Amino acid sequence: MQRGTDPIHLRNGGTSVVLSLDYAPLPAIVHWGPDLGEVGADELAAMALAAIPQRVSGGIDVPAALTLIPQESSGWLGTPGLAGHRDGRDFSTRLATVDVQTDAATATITARDDAARLEATIELEVTASGLFRQRITLRNLADAPYSVVALTPFFPVPAIADQLLDTTGRHLRERSPQRHEFTIGTHLRESRRGRPGADASLVIAAGRRGFGFERGMVHAVHTAWSGNHRLLAERLPTGESSLGAGELLAPGEVVLEQDESYATPWAIGSWGDGLTELSSRFHRELRARPQHPRRPRPVTLNTWEAVYFDHDREKIDELARRAASVGVERFVLDDGWFLGRRDDTAGLGDWWVDETVWPDGLGPLIETVTSLGMEFGLWVEPEMVNLDSELARNHPDWILRGRDDLPVPARQQYVVDLANPDAWQYLLERLDALLAEYDIAYLKWDHNRDLLEAGSAHTGRARVHENVQALYRLLAELKRRHPGLEIESCASGGARVDLGILEHTDRIWTSDTLDPIERLQIQRYTGILVPAEMMGAHLTSPEVHTTGRTVQLDTSAGVALFGHFGVEWDLTTLDDAGLARVREWVDLHKRHRALIHTGTLVHGDTRDDTTDVRGVVAGDAASALFTFTQVTTSVTHPPGRFTLPGLDPDRRYAVRIAAGRVDHGPGQSTLPWAEQPIVLTGRQLGTAGLQAPVLFPGQLVLLELTTA
């Protein structure tokens, strides 16, 4: 327990957080970053003293600092931590510390505003992986309702941070990076889509200009929430720089009656010397959870691009046999199996097997799949409904809306109000019945549209917050009833990727595009948050369905290798030689699966975007895999050297090309190091590097490194 006004020093996982209690009315974070080691009370007190701002001409008489909940009542002129009111009153709060409880890595601060009759509990934790988590719970102590407009945890960042990184995107091109100068003012990223959205930024990062994956001090925050949210970076004229992460609430969405509480999602911060170190903290945190998948991630075939809505039993049985022959371990039947579902205009909501397509139910197909040694998975989209469905005809009040009229449709569909207890119970019963009747090991849980006017048909109030909570309860209850069930979070590809959904699911579908060249960037920036074994990544057909690009199998499979590997291809179109080549890549993935799904994901900071270097290094650094991809042509020919990051500098590695071809065209000599394994130290590979092979655009080679 903390006593007096001594600073609090939280330490864990290589991270230190120092809180000063000298600020009024709430503590302030004066350090978040590298571990400071054992620091005495006097040194901590001096550190807190050194952070106190100076009064300046033209400013307020008591300079304000970024406290745990920055408030206007203490002189804060930036974005407030709490915004709310009681019908216009109590708009300005003065929450002040009344109790502090702490141990080595956690602190809980209780604050109260007796005039406004509000109480806040602020939870802080530095985890074993070195992440810094914050959550605020606000409680209404008065008999008059209190409307919460916003409640946002903030994280200070060093003054040297002068550049911001976030991501944007769209369907088929999620996680596109964008950089900005970290200037005075507020850079705000909001998602109002009812889910994070394809354009959502997984994190907002602030660092030294030019920071990359390999080096450069950088701090980032993430909102662990699957609905509307906000990320912001703010720099004030007084010099304070901060990052904020919280839920975005609609008007009137959270109104607290007496003794009711609202808790923010966990706001999670990471830091590192480079984005690889920053991301590895997220990965270690996920891998340490008790529910994290422990068994080898099954190689998965999904039927969507092979058959779409054309569910021909003979074709799908043959596809299953081909899948088993190349080593697939999980076979997933995608959209089109349920009542009335012949295209995307009908059927959503009616979760019964369509007997006109599957007259004997799914049992015979599942028997075929399991007899071939594979698990069976099934696509569902429980949160959505088509108007042409029994659900919509019988229960129109179960559809989210903001007025009597329905919202604008998207993909011919609308959204079920999961927060309606009757709708929630119906979905639980239908999904539970399917899982009880059939041997289903895996649900591909899709969510194919953004939410608009997401309110209750009964109360007329905004309902995204309650729907996200209801979704979490539904997923948890299905897993409780069916131990061992795995669930994928898909949302028109990668539109719902966050640590909130990953508390309840076992992987995300990274993107609906399987174009490996597009996937390079998508997977690179998704991997800041999500480890390889939770990122769905499949090899695909030579002509990519979403872009029309023609790609080589080595490139398609090599890019998918550093993920939860699978196949999205009509294998019935391949001859024996084609199947054998797919089998080679499946076998290669299985050989290296333990390394890929436990090692450190690394990315090289290449000179430009014409090449891509990425890999995974074993936890003990004894082995590694890397890919070198020639993305586009380069102005230099040959392209020069590339380096391999993340290796043990003093270890000697044998480097060999494990897959991919180094073509030797007219006038082109043999690349000397590619003919046989070459032995170099990790320091040599990380600094001097290797001469890059001359490849055509879109070609890839896979390098295998073992201790020599």
H-only helix segments in 32-78: 41-50
| Mean pLDDT (whole number) for 611-640 | 96
670 pLDDT tier (thresholds 50, 70, 90)? confident
d(CA 496, CA 196): 5
> Quick one: pLDDT at residue 666?
73
* Residue 180, beta-bridge partner list: 164
Tokens of 390: 């029994």
H-only helix segments in 289-420: 304-307, 313-325, 363-371, 390-394
- Sequence-distant (6+) residues with CB within 8 A of 98 are 110, 111, 112
- Sequence-distant (6+) residues with CB within 8 A of 667 are none
Instruction: State yes or no: pLDDT of 667 exceeds 80.
Output: no
Sign of CA dihedral 85, 224, 121, 420: positive
φ, ψ of residue 573 in degrees (nearest 5): -90, -5
- The answer to whether 523 and 530 have CB atoms below 8 angstroms apart is no
| Mean pLDDT (whole number) for 32-51 | 95
| Mean pLDDT (whole number) for 521-538 | 98
**Sole residue written with tokens 């969507």:** 304
CATH of 8-288, one of 2.70.98.60, 3.40.50.300, 2.40.50.100, 2.10.260.10: 2.70.98.60
Instruction: State yes or no: pLDDT of 338 exceeds 80.
Output: yes
* Topology adopted by domain 604-707: Immunoglobulin-like (2.60.40)
Tokens of 361: 């139910």
Instruction: State yes or no: pLDDT of 539 exceeds 60.
Output: yes
> Quick one: pLDDT at residue 357?
96
d(CA 552, CA 543): 9
Helix axes of 313-325 and 363-371: crossing angle, nearest 10 degrees:
20
Say whether 515 is catalytic.
Answer: no
Burial per residue of 471-506, b for 16 or more beta-carbon CB atoms within 10 angstroms, e otherwise: bbebbeebbeebeebbbbbbbbbbbbbbbbbbbbbb
Nearest to 594 by CA among 572, 625, 573: 625
- The answer to whether 510 and 527 have CB atoms below 8 angstroms apart is no
* Residue 136, beta-bridge partner list: 122
DSSP 571-615: GGG--HHHHHHHHHHHHHHHHHHHHHTTSEEEE---SSTTEEEEE
Q: pLDDT tens-digit profile of 233-292? A: 999 999 999 999 999 999 999 999 999 999 999 999 999 999 999 999 999 999 999 999
What is the residue-averaged pLDDT of the chain?
96
Say whether 446 is catalytic.
Answer: yes
> Quick one: pLDDT at residue 253?
98
- Note the pTM of the prediction, 2 decimals: 0.97
Helix axes of 553-560 and 576-596: crossing angle, nearest 10 degrees:
20
> Quick one: pLDDT at residue 639?
87
Instruction: State yes or no: pLDDT of 664 exceeds 90.
Output: no
Catalytic residue among 512, 554, 612, 648: 512
**Percent of the chain having pLDDT more than 90?**
94
**Sole residue written with tokens 């050194």:** 50
Q: pLDDT tens-digit profile of 132-159? A: 999 999 999 999 999 999 999 999 999 9
d(CA 94, CA 644): 53
> Quick one: pLDDT at residue 663?
67
Nearest to 254 by CA among 416, 123, 145: 145
Instruction: State yes or no: pLDDT of 691 exceeds 70.
Output: yes
Preceding omega of 25 cis (within 30 degrees of 0):
yes
Catalytic residue among 334, 446, 450, 515: 446
Q: What is the CA radius of gyration of the chain?
A: 27
Q: pLDDT tens-digit profile of 315-331? A: 999 999 999 999 999 99
> Quick one: pLDDT at residue 2?
41
Let me know how many helices (H) and strands (E) the chain has, helices first: 12, 38
Instruction: State yes or no: pLDDT of 668 exceeds 90.
Output: no
Tokens of 136: 């605020």
Q: Which DSSP letter does residue 388 get?
A: B
> Quick one: pLDDT at residue 4?
52
> Quick one: pLDDT at residue 406?
97
Strand blocks (E) in 438-563 = 442-445, 486-489, 507-509, 535-540
Q: Which DSSP helix (H) or strand (E) runs through 632? A: none
Domain boundaries defined on the chain: 8-288, 604-707
d(CA 202, CA 705): 31
Instruction: State yes or no: pLDDT of 378 exceeds 80.
Output: yes
Tokens of 700: 């890839």
Q: Is 42 exposed, middle or buried (0-12, 13-18, 19+ CB in 10 A)?
A: exposed
Q: pLDDT tens-digit profile of 563-597? A: 999 999 999 999 999 999 999 999 999 999 999 99
